[in-house]
Amino acid sequence: MSDPIICCRDVCVAYGRNEVLHQVNLEIPRGVFLPFTGPNGAGKTTLLRAILGLIPIRHGKIITPFRQKPAGYVPQQRVIDPLYPVSARQIVAMGLHRQLRWPGPLPHSRRTAIDAALEQFGMLEHASKTFRELSGGMKQKILLARAFVAGADVIALDEPTSELDESAETEVLNHLLRLNREMGKTILMVHHDLDQVARLTNTMCRIRHGKAELIETGGSHA
């Protein structure tokens, strides 16, 4: 494996008195396609959010490159209010918020980057639709485009296929595999289907009993 892009050293995360993760030690290789797996309540989403700096850790240390180059984050769809009247293009533009001065018109270079991200995921023709008008698979691709547009090296996803039908799920996973294999993106993904994980990648992060470890899946990388 390549050099690690993320390191966790004796990381503990707790909600009140309930310690969800304890003494997590991980070295996540650069360019890996890494599902986070484990039983419900094991701490998969908690670990992902801790790595992204979205929740505090009780003690330990997490080393990432995100101060210099933030990760792209794709939350679960349900956290975005479908009634909020924003277009698909505006949602993708949110991925550039660190680079833009609001309010004000988008520079031409940023409009071009947004169009390129929409086209990357086959969503350019749907750019003017509101989020609520899109199907589940389309919504997920728009959220992927938002994470992708800023040029993040690491893209982290919280159960990106949990609300999709089989066809949409396959399409979204194929997009993720392409980002990983063709563009070298590091993909971190909370996922619940162990059989599917084994077909996607040779390595997964298994979380159980408050611990996390990288294990080989024997997958074919098909």
Q: How confident is the model over 113-169, as pLDDT tens digits?
A: 999 999 999 999 999 999 889 998 999 999 999 999 989 999 999 999 888 888 999
User: Beta strand pairing status for 59-63 and 203-208?
Assistant: unpaired
**Which of these, 140, 152, 51, lies nearest to 95 by C-alpha position?**
152
Q: Is the per-residue pLDDT at 84 higher than 70?
A: no
Mean pLDDT score across all residues of the chain: 88
Q: Is the per-residue pLDDT at 58 higher than 80?
A: yes
Which residues, 6 or more positions from 63, have their beta carbon under 8 angstroms from its beta carbon?
6, 7, 8, 9
Mean pLDDT of 69-76: 90
The three-class DSSP label of residue 31 is coil
**Which of these, 81, 79, 82, 103, lies nearest to 93 by C-alpha position?**
103
Distances (CA, A) of 106 to 23, 90, 169, 209, 210: 45, 11, 32, 47, 45
Q: Which amino acid is at 124?
A: L
Can you give the pTM of this predicted structure? 0.89
